[in-house]
Structures are given as structure tokens and as C-alpha cells.
Structure 1
Amino acid sequence: MKLTIKYFLITTFFFLWNAMIAKDIKISSLGELANYASKSGNVISMAPGTYHFKDYISEEAMKAKHDNKQFYFMKFNGNNNIFKLEGVEIIVDTKLREALDPPIHTNEFVLSGGNNTLEGLQIKYIGNGTSSGGAAFEVSGEGNVLRNLTLYVKGSSPYGYGDLFGKGRDYVIRHEKHSGLLVTGSNTKLYGCKLYMRSFGHGFFIQNNAENIYFEDCYVEGEVRETDEILAETSGPAYDVNFKTWTKNREEKYVVTPGYMKSLVEDGFRTYGNIKNIHFKNCTAKNTRAGFELRTNGGVRLENCTTIGTERAYWIGDDAVVKNCKGDANYGPLMFVEGSNVEVDLTVIPAESDRLVHALVTIQGSNNKILLKSENGKKREKNLPILVGYTHPEHGEAMSPYSEGETSNLNLRNETGMPIEIGAKVSHSTIETNGEIIENRSGSTEVKKIEN
């Protein structure tokens, strides 16, 4: 805590000092933006308008960048700058990504300097070009602030199946991904940033043990598709592999199963590794695979966040705090709890569909305190069980079966009216519920009825 306060005071001092001595620069081209992106101590205001990236760098120039091992589109490596880019739209033809042909996981617009503020930029990808992974935008420097950045992301292959056929090293069909916004620099703050994902890849994601990351009023949106529609294909990549999946379904078969809804993108908000002190406030994920998959054990806090139409809404690890958040179970479970010492206050939005969903929530771990409520007290029409003492399905895949997991000292209050199933590995727990207990195989769990 002392180090965090010290860092805040130091960065605030440098920001105020920089504001007093900074030069006001007016620009009106991508070439000028790239030039000042590598300088420090300036306030750069760019004329509003639409700028085509291919007019700045051609496909041939991208091939030259590849030969020089400059595997990025534009790098903001200066420090202590303010970029005022309201009304600026950069159009990027995805063929430029193919021409650059970077190594896998190479990112395109990179903010690598420190203590910069970037306001209002919009980047829109067009076309159907692909390359081997990477994110549209990366914040790798420390102490940076993004305000009202908007990304429209395209450029993965194949697009239209989500992760049905695998990801990473495990796949039936190999993906070339294109993700949204990666944060690897500590003390990054994002306000009002929006991602519209039309590409298989993550929306916002955090890696490299970055710490002290703050999101407020951020939004990410993907697309969804019924598995029945995928199975109706008579040609294409899925048809060519006889619809073989990388995870087994509930019938122990590795095949696409009708009746489900798949997101065509990866997770809306995602952490990798031991990410410490990450805070989300008023953020929303819509039609993504997971809304908030935050399985780090470094301290996560979500406040007033929302999920809509996700395959699974919230997935949390140790010490997470979920306060006044909500989501639906329209296409998949509302929450997977796999950690310990979590505090959850979560509301179920009573949206329903004809898609198959097998659980409202799964809970494992120890010393967890969980409150589940219904929005405006309105109960869902279709019952979805709350599975206490159960793990998430393999890879989180809705078509896959659940297993049982050790659960102890749970304090669960269920005000949703949904039924509860208590597994055999649950011990020394207390459950208050206004829904029925459909099964109780725990020998040491106290169940109390909430009177309506």
C-alpha cells in the first residue's frame, strides 16, 4: 500500500510538472502522429477526421518493416505526453497485417512509453486479411491512461465457430487470432474504452504480472451463433473435420452438439498469471465467451458490472470481491467460483432463451460468502440449479459435463428461487435459500429456508 501511494504521488507530480512545461502541438496526419509518438513532454492535438493507414504505410512498406523486424504498426514510446485524438478515426485494412507477417502474439499499435494519456482515438479494422495472432492495441508502458478509445476488430481465421474446435496448441482446426486490447504495463487506467469484436480473440486482457489496473465504464461486445446453424453447414472448415470438437460433450463424444449458443470471440475481460490489484467499475461484456474470466489470485474487485448473453458470465479465483454486479444465464452459467475467500453479491437478470444451459452457478473452494438475488425479485421461469461442491466443466465448455470439487465453510444465501444441488464434497457450510434442495449429499451442511 505504501509503495502504491508513493507511486501515485510521484506520477501525479510528474504529470502536473509536465502539464506546466508541455508544448501544444497541432497535427493533421498519421506521419506527424507517428513522429510525436516517439517524443516526450508534449500535448498533441490531432485534427478530427478519417485517416486511412494504407495512405501512411503501403503493403510494400509493411513488407520492408518485416524485413527490418519492426513488427508493429505504430509505437507510442515517448513519455509524459497527452494525445488529444477526439474525432480521429484510423481505418486499417487487415491486408496490411498479412503484408507485415509478424511473429505470433505480436501487437500492432503499442503504447510502450510511460505516464501518457491518450484520449478519444478510434481504430477500425476492415477486410478479411489475417496474421498469426496478436492484439490490435497494447499498453506495455507504466502509468498510462486511456480515455474513450474505441476499437473495431476484425482479422481472424476461421471466424464463426468460437473455440469449438480448439485454441492455442490444442486444436482440431488451427486459428489465426486477432484480439482487442492487451495490458502488460502496471498502473494502467482505462476509462470509457469500447471494443467491438468481430474476430476470434480476447477483448480486454491482462498479462505479464501487470499490477494496479483500473477499468471504468468500459464495454466489449462480440457475436453469438447457434450450434444448430454450424451443424447445418455443407462445406467449410467445420464440415471438413466432421464437426469434431476439442472437448467432449455430455454424451462423452467429441462432436458439436445441437441446442447450444456459442460466442464467436473469446473473453470480454480476461487475466493471465498472477495479476494483482485489478478493479472493474461499471463495465459490461456482451455476447463474449466469458464476460469476466478473472482467475488470478492477486485480488480482483468488480463493482456494478454487467454481463449479457455470454457463454459464462463471471469466473473468479481466490480473494475476489464481486459487489452489486448482475448478468443473465441466457446462454450459459452466471458464475463459476473456483477460488477461496471470495465475497459475491450478484443479481440474476431473468432473460431466457431456448438454448441449453445446465447450471446457474457452480461453487467450490473454502470460506466463500455468496449472495445470489433476482432482478427486481423476479424469478426465472426455467429452473437452473445452483451446484454447490461442483467444478466448472472442462475448459468452461457448456456442452461438457461437471465434476465435483472440495467445498467447505461456505456461506450461501440464495434469493433467486432457483433449486440447489449439494454435492458429497461439501462440508461445514451454511445455506439459506428460497428455492428447493433437489439433492443434499453433504453430511455437515446446515440448510435454512428463507420465508417469502
Structure 2
Amino acid sequence: MIKLSHLKHCRKFCISLLCALGMANAHAALNVTASADDGNVPANTLDDNIDTRWSANGSGQWIEYDLGATHTVDAVQIAFFRGDVRDATIDIQVSNDGGNWQTLFSGTPPTRTLAQQHFELDDTSARYVRIVGYGNSQNNWNSITEFDVVTLASGENIALGKATSQSSTGYEGVSSRAVDGNTNGNWNQGSITHTNNEYQPWWQVDLGSVRSIDQVNLWNRTNCCSSRLSAFYVLVSDVPFTSQTLSGALSQAGVSAYYFNDTAGSPTEINIDRTGRYVRVQLSGTNPLSLAEVEVIEGSEIVPPAPTGPDASWTYCAAEREQCAFSNIKEVAYGAGDSWNYSVELDGVTCNNTNLGDPVRGTVKSCWVRNAQQNYVAVRNLAELQNAISNSNQHIRMKRGVYEATALMSDNTTVFRFDGANNVLDFTGVTIQVPTKLLNSMSTQPIHSQVTYDVMGDNITFLNGTFENTYPNGQHDVTDFTAHNKNPDYWPARQMTEFRVWGNGVQFLNNTITVRGSYPYGYGDMLGKGAGSAVYLRKHAGVQISGDNVLIDGMKLTVLAFGHGIFMQGADNTVIKNSVVQGRMRLGADMYNDGPDSLMGPFNFEQQYPDHFVGLPIVRDLMYNLTEDGIRAYTQGTKLDGSVVRTGAITVEDTKVINMRGCITTPLASKPSYIKNVEIQGCSVGYALANNSDVINSRGDAGYGPLLHSTYDTRNNANVEITVTNIPSTGSHAFAYIAGSGHNITFLSDGSNPDVPREIRVGDTGDRWAGDPSYQDAANILLINETNQPVVLTETSRNITGESVGEVTDNGTGNSLK
């Protein structure tokens, strides 16, 4: 519906005026009139119902629409009564004053249909649109069932030269530089803003009046330090911001927040699609804030329709971007037409896409409420939360907001304990922050009892929550590893886990977890990972599962600490799907830059673990994982009742694991693993499997470690199909280490070529058992290699069959791989 020849900033505005007159929020400036009607009134053309109409008899009868303000009219859409069997004859006219009219179209519709028909017009500035009818091919009646007008956004940068401010000014980088029209990202050109190095610095512009905003374009600094402009918010408000803090701005009614996690470019375009007078850019961590330019692109004036609810059980509450105010618990429907998002809210909610999602893009929406259809327990603070989760058989709704934990439970090793059962915990719009300094105040005894969220009850559901650890300086992640490892406020008192799941039937649905704070951090496991480590370990893992039938669906888990992502100890039938587990990598050369007083300095930057690497210097051009494994199975675990049980079946589907030490490592499980539609990226080990496991339609690379690793030659009968992706690689590892028997393994190519040839080694378990042939057995394996990576069949391989595009070197016995 938008002509593609228009500028990229031109955006459709389809005004469905819907003047169902008498609605409380119908705009008085909008009006539809007609020269006459037969009782089928003009407003019927705006009710989204082709079964109603406006009708008037006689040549020259007209219907007129007042848009309320001047717009660039691009097109109109008209549905005609009985338009499937007859042709109407019309003029389409526009006017700025309602008296002088310009005809943009004369004729009949392009086709016969009951649906709306599109009339493309020459772009013309107008406030009024009139349809003049001259009867139809059967009689003199003029009848229209539905009408829309399409206007274009101006595309103008309305921030240019406007008043600006910022939280502080450093190096004479005044705030007005970001609206001077100069997008040059070189500091030396004198057109870049600069704040002090501070916590959550901000910059903002006052547009002078409330305007329609299509998008905000940001230009970053380019000659250095571009990474500072990352993990930031663009905030938009019709009224002044009442707080300089990020949490205060985010909680202010009527503020829309647009989060950008990556480093901004030149430009980075952020779609807004709302009105606003004040636009703020604010970092979420500690850094100077520098902007080369900020453009605020004007959009079309948004004229909301008179709303209708999902059905008669709902009561109108608020228009889009307004506060839907009520007390206690209500169900809220947000949307328009047939497209609605539903939620349960406590003490009101701002009616916008940020809070409630966007069920139908490009359409003005509204909020409707009704009484909750079941009983809920209302929770407004963390103390009330702890009381509620000690009880059972509840639906608990916590009020939207950001909450910071300030105290431990009486055992001094736990922050929250979920010992009730059969509870649904609705954390939609809730962020719970647990400072690393609080974790450091935990008791170090008894061992293995330190945990943030101790989930003891059965059948608990965590819904839509955000859970994160926070550093004292507010940083998203560590930049100075030496300082981090010297300050105990930045790590826990002892090795710990964020979520420890004892209960059976626990579900995590659409939660975001960010783990921060460990000692050591910055060097992976090269100082050790258990007993006998070179330093006292205070590891910090994400989710430990010991209960059965646990479901993780839609989790975004970021591990910025030395510890596992999700690991199973004694759990059976664990299902992980639609999730992302992500850690962090670091180049060896960067570790040397930490200096002699770093943790690695006293060891002359030589690795202290594992045994076969002890004494070897850190490799400068090698990427190292800073975490432990993404999804990991241990041999066994202790249940809540004290029994020790083997770890069982694990299913992983439609999930990504990125930059963890081992992406998916389940060889110690006693039951098969089922892995489908999974992608691994940049791990030291890609897939390591239990007996009889399946890897189906999955992807991965061997950039930083082997894509497939048989860590034991006693693991058999794996069925593997992996499409190989290629990333810039480091290190001297093999593409795959394959041992055991009865496997069917297929490596498919995605069409890209690796930058380094790496061997697929059959009859090899890698560094751990290097040189000991008793651990390297490989037999009766079918290998299909459709990549150009070479295959080496070692002396301990036998009866290996299949085909390989890459060259085959056969040192084994009875092999027929070709």
C-alpha cells in the first residue's frame, strides 16, 4: 500500500476513522458528512463492517471526510455496496479548506468485488477527502460500505537544531553536537557529544511539542571507542522525564523504551511509531556516552480509531500509550479488531507495545479490562513474594517493576526459597536484581548450599520473568578482569548456582536470566575447575536441575561468569527448547594485557589445568571460553530426599548454544539424548553424546574446538546429522574426534568453505587420552562426510564405512570409507 518509489522514511498511515459516534475517545476534530442519506448514515463507512453502508440516491451526491489536519494523501481505499455485481462511477476530490476542490480521480473501480479497492493518487497535501458519486451501472444509487485514506509520513528530521541536554559533559563534547546535522563519527571533526565516565549516562532532545515519530537514527563514534554505545535504551515520552535514573525513566507512565543490545552503527535505525516530545538515549551500564548525530524522523499524525473490544465481556480502559488504571488484579486485552494480546495485570498498566507486545503492527490499539477469571495472589514487593511462594496451589501475579534483593534468608545461603507446590508465578514485566555484593555476604557453610533461587516445590511455573545479577558499578560485563578478581564485591562467597531445581514438573516459560559474578573470571578453567585448583574457586552457574520432568521453554540464559549454563544432576526427562544459552569468549593475547598483577601473572601466563595443558603458555591467537558448559549432564545427583540417582534422558530442541566451553555435553547421562534443530556456535566442544543419542537436523562449527567429540570410546550407537557452518577459526584442534561403535554420522555442508582444513579423526578421543590406544577404539561406524574436510582413520579404527568428499587417509583395519 506504500509506493516503493517513496523515501525509506515514508510510512503508511491508513486512517480507519471508525467514528462510531458517542465513543468516549472519538476525536471531535474528525468528522464524516454527506450531502444526503437514506438512513444508512455516513459513519457506517468507518465501522470495519461491509454489511453496513452509506447510501444516497442521485447523481452528484457526495460523502466527505475531515482528516483533522493536513496530510499528504497517497491513496484511498473504498468498498462499494454490491460492488461484486455493478460498477460505481465516482470522482475522488481533495481540499485544504473544504471549499476549493481538486479532482484526483474520475472513473469506475478497477474490478468488481465486495472488498476494499485501492485507488492510487498523486501525492497531494489535503485535509479533506470527498467522494462524489454518479450512480452505478444498474441505477442512480451511490453506496459505500467502507473507506480508508492512506497518507505518507514526512520523513523530516525534526530533532535538527532543537534543544538538548545530557547527564554531564566531558572533553567539551556538548550535547548540541548530536543535532547539528553532521554525522561524521571522527572525534577530531568536533561534532561528537561526550559525557563523563559514569553510571547510566544519558542524552536527550526536546522536540518543542508533541510530534509523531517514525524512527530514531543514531550515528556512533567511529575513530575509537564505538563499543561504548551498546546495551542502551532509546526512551520516548510526551511529557518531561521525571527521573535521571534509568529505572525511574523506565517505570514512568507513558514512556516507551526501545532496547538495543549490540554496538550501534552509523546509523542504527530504531523504529518508534508513536508520538513524543522528549527523546532520550541512555546507557544501561557505566561508560562515557558519545553520539555523532541523532535524527528523529517525523511520522504520520496518528489518529486513533474509536475502539471496540474483543467481546462484550470486556470494558474499555485506555487508548494506546495511555495509562490503563485500576486497582488489584484485572485481565487486560490489548489490540484492535481481531488481533489481541492478553495478560493479567496488577494495579494498572501503561497501554503500549513495550509492556503488552504488538498484536497488529501499524494499527492504533487500545486496552480493555475484565475481572480475573480465577483467583490470583497479588504481590507488590519481594517480602510479599517470599511469603507467597511458601504456600501452595496458587496463581501469583507480581506487579510490574524492577526489584532489588537486599537481604538473605535466615540460613544466610539463600536469597529466595520456593517451597510451595503447584504454583504459577507470573513475572510478566518484572525484573528481579540480585547484587553480587549480596551473594558475597553468604555463609560459606554448609558446602553446596549457596543458591539464589532454591526451587524445592513440585509443579512450579516461572512465567515471563527477568532475573539478573548486578555489579556494584552497573556494568553489563567485565572489562578490567584484574580489578574484578581483586574485589570480592563482584563475586559470590563460595561456588553457587542461580536456580537450583529440586522439584519435579517445574516449568520455565519465556524467562531471561543473566548470571554475573564469579572468581576467577576471565580465564575459563585454566586455573582449575574442581578440587586441587590453583586458586579457591567461587564458580557461579545458571540452572541446576535435579528434579524430573523439568521443562525449559523460551529461556534466554546469558552466563557472564565461570560456571555452567544448564546442568543436570540426577534429573530425568529434562526438556529444553526454543532457548538460547550464551557465554563469552576471549582472545589469549588480551589475557597478557591484564598484566603481572593479574591472576595469571604469578603463573607466568601458563595454564594450570587440565593436566595435559599444565605449564603450556596461553596461546595468543586462540579464543578461550570464559564459562563452563552450555548444556551439561553429570553422571548422577542427589535428590531432595537424599537419594543418589543417575542422570537420565535429555531433550534439546530449537535451541542455540553460543560461546560456551562445551555447547552440549551429555556423555555421562544414563539414557539417550535427543537433539533436534539445534545450533551451536563458537564452543570449545560442540556435541558430546550419551549412548544411543540422536542429533537431527542440527548445525554447528569447529571454529574454536571440535564440532563432534567422543570423549569416551564406550559411547555407542549415536545417530548424528549436522550441517557444518564455518567461522574464522583458531587453534590446532581437529574438526571431530570420533570413537565408540555403531554410530551413523553425517556431516552436511552449508556451501561455505572452512578457512583452515581440520581432520575428522576416527579412532581418536582427543587430548585427554592422547597416546593411550586403549581409549581410542572406533568400530562399525557409518560416516557420510559431504564437507571437504579430510578424514583420518587411525590405527584403532576398524570396519568404518561410508563416503567422504574430503580426502581419506586409512591407517585402520577393514575400513571401506571412500
Question: Which of the five TM-score ranges fits, normalised by the shorter chain?
Answer: 0.7 to 0.9
How far apart are 1:248 and its partner, in Å? 6.8
Contact residue 607 and residue 614 of structure 2 kept, 8 A: no
Check if 1:443 corresponds to 2:813: yes
In the alignment, does 2:738 pair up with 1:363? Answer: yes
* In 2: Cα distance, 1:278 partner to 1:22 partner: 34
Q: How much does 1:252 deviate? A: 8.2
Q: In 2, Cα distance between the equivalents of 1:169 and 1:114?
A: 33
Alignment partner of 1:299 is 2:672: yes
Sort the Cα spacing of 1:133 and 1:35 in 2 relative to 1 into closer, same or farther, 3 A.
same
1:82 counterpart residue number: 424
**2:467 aligned residue:** 123
Counterpart-to-counterpart distance in 2, 1:432 and 1:281: 28
Task: Choose from 716, 724, 728 the match for 1:348.
Answer: 724
SS of 1:38's partner is coil
From 781, 790, 793, the counterpart of 1:419:
790
Helix, strand or coil at the partner of 1:167: coil
Is 2:452 aligned against 1:108?
Answer: yes
Check if 1:287 corresponds to 2:659.
yes
CA distance in 2 between partners of 1:194 and 1:403 (Å): 40
Q: In the TM superposition, what whole-angstrom CA distance separates every residue of 1:12-48 from its partner, at most 9, and x where no partner exists?
A: xxxxxxxx99731222111111111011111111111
Q: Which residue of 1 aligns with 2:102?
A: none
Residue identity in the other structure for 1:126: T
Q: 1:29 is matched by which residue type in structure 2?
A: N
Q: Please list, as runs of the form range in 1=range in 2, the aligned pairs for 1:8-27 lying within 5 A after superposition.
A: 23-27=375-379
Distance in 2 between the 1:227 and 1:81 partners?
46
Task: Identify the residue that residue 766 of structure 2 maps to in structure 1.
Answer: 392
Q: How many residues align?
A: 410
CA contact (8 A) 1:131 1:155 kept: no
Residue 585 of structure 2 is aligned with which of 213, 224, 234?
A: 224
Pair 1:260-2:602 in alignment: no
CA distance in 2, matches of 1:96, 1:345: 45
Partner of 1:233: 594
Give 1:28-107 correspondences, 5 Å limit: 28-54=380-406, 57=407, 62=408, 65=409, 68-103=410-445, 104-105=447-448, 106-107=450-451
CA contact under 8 A between 1:145 and 1:190: conserved in structure 2? yes
Is the partner of 1:190 in helix, strand or coil?
Answer: strand
> How far did 1:88 drift?
0.5
494, 497, 501: which one aligns with 1:135: 497
Corresponding position: 1:172 with 2:534: yes
CA distance in structure 1 between the aligned counterparts of 2:706 and 2:732, rounded to whole angstroms: 7
In 2, the alpha carbon distance for the partners of 1:160 and 1:372 equals: 33
Match of 1:408 among 772, 776, 779: 779
Give, in angstroms, the shift of residue 247 of structure 1. 4.0
Question: Is 1:383 equivalent to 2:753 in the alignment?
Answer: no
1:251 is displaced (CA, Å) by 8.9
The aligned residue for residue 690 of structure 2 is 317
**Deviation at 1:246?**
2.9
**Which residue of the other structure, out of 544, 555, 559, is the alignment partner of 1:193?**
555
**2:431–2:465 contact (8 Å) kept in structure 1:** yes
Give the Å deviation of 1:447: 2.0
Q: In the alignment, which residue of structure 2 is the partner of 1:12?
A: none
Q: Name the SS of the counterpart of 2:562 in structure 1.
A: coil
The letter of the residue matching 1:157 is Y
Distance 1:129 1:285, change over 3 A: same
Instruction: Give the TM-score taking structure 2 as reference length.
Output: 0.48
Partner of 1:160: 522
- My pick for the range that moved more, 403-412 or 195-204, is 403-412
Deviation at residue 403 of structure 1 after TM alignment: 5.8
Give 2:747's aligned residue: 372
Name 2:206's counterpart in structure 1.
Answer: none
Give the 3 Å change call, closer, same or farther, for CA 252–212 of structure 1 in structure 2.
Answer: closer
After TM superposition, the structure 1 stretch with the greater mean CA deviation from structure 2, 226-235 or 366-375, is: 226-235
Q: Which amino acid aligns with 2:423?
A: N
Distance 1:267 1:251 in 2: 19
Of structures 1 and 2, the one scoring higher in RCO (CA 8 A, sep 6+) is 1
Verify the 8 A CA contact 1:313 1:327 in the aligned structure 2: yes
Give 1:294 deviation, angstroms: 1.1
The equivalent residue for 1:277 is 649
1:326 alignment counterpart? 699
Instruction: Quickly say closer, same or farther: Cα 1:440–1:251, change in 2 above 3 A.
Output: farther
Structure 1 length-normalised TM: 0.86
**1:322 partner SS:** strand
Deviation at 1:83, TM superposition (A): 0.8
What's the RMSD between the two structures over aligned residues?
A: 2.1
Point out the more displaced range, 192-201 or 227-236: 227-236
Query: Which structure is higher in helix share?
Result: 1
Equivalent residue, structure 2, for 1:13: none
**2:544 paired with 1:182:** yes
Contact 2:381-2:403 within 8 A present in 1 as well = yes
Partners of 1:421 and 1:348 in 2: CA distance: 18
Any unmatched runs of 5+ in structure 1?
1-19, 396-400
Q: More deviation in 213-222 or 102-111?
A: 102-111
The structure having more radius of gyration, on CA atoms, is 2
Equivalent AA in structure 1 for residue 530 of structure 2: G
Partner-residue secondary structure (3-state), 2:816: strand
Q: Is the 8 A contact 2:665 2:688 kept in 1?
A: yes
Q: Do 2:441 and 2:492's aligned partners in 1 also have CA atoms closer than 8 Å?
A: no
The answer to whether the 8 A contact 1:350-1:374 is kept is no
Distance 1:188 1:367 in 2: 30
Aligned partner of residue 376 in structure 2, secondary structure: strand
Matched residue type, 1:374: S
Tell me the alpha carbon deviations over residues 389-431 of structure 1, each in whole angstroms, 9 at most, x when there is no partner.
0013229xxxxx6765001101111011110111011112213
Give the counterpart of 2:564 among 202, 205, 218.
202
What secondary structure is seen at the aligned counterpart in 2 of 1:298? coil
Deviations 1:130-184 (A, max 9, x none): 2211111111101111111211111101210001121111322332111111111
In 2: Cα distance, 1:382 partner to 1:422 partner = 20
- Taking the aligned partners of 1:109 and 1:252, their CA distance within structure 2 comes to 36
Partner SS for 2:539: coil
CA distance in 1, matches of 2:397, 2:614: 58
**Aligned partner letter, 2:414:** Y
3-state SS of paired residue (2:384): helix
CA distance in 1, matches of 2:505, 2:535: 39
CA shift for structure 1 position 110: 1.4
Indicate the residue corresponding to 2:197 in structure 1: none
Give how far 1:98 is off. 1.5
Letter in 2 for 1:350: N
| Letter matched to residue 72 of structure 1 | T
Quick one: structure 1 residues 301 and 406, their matched pair in 2 at CA, closer, same or farther if it must change by over 3 Å? same
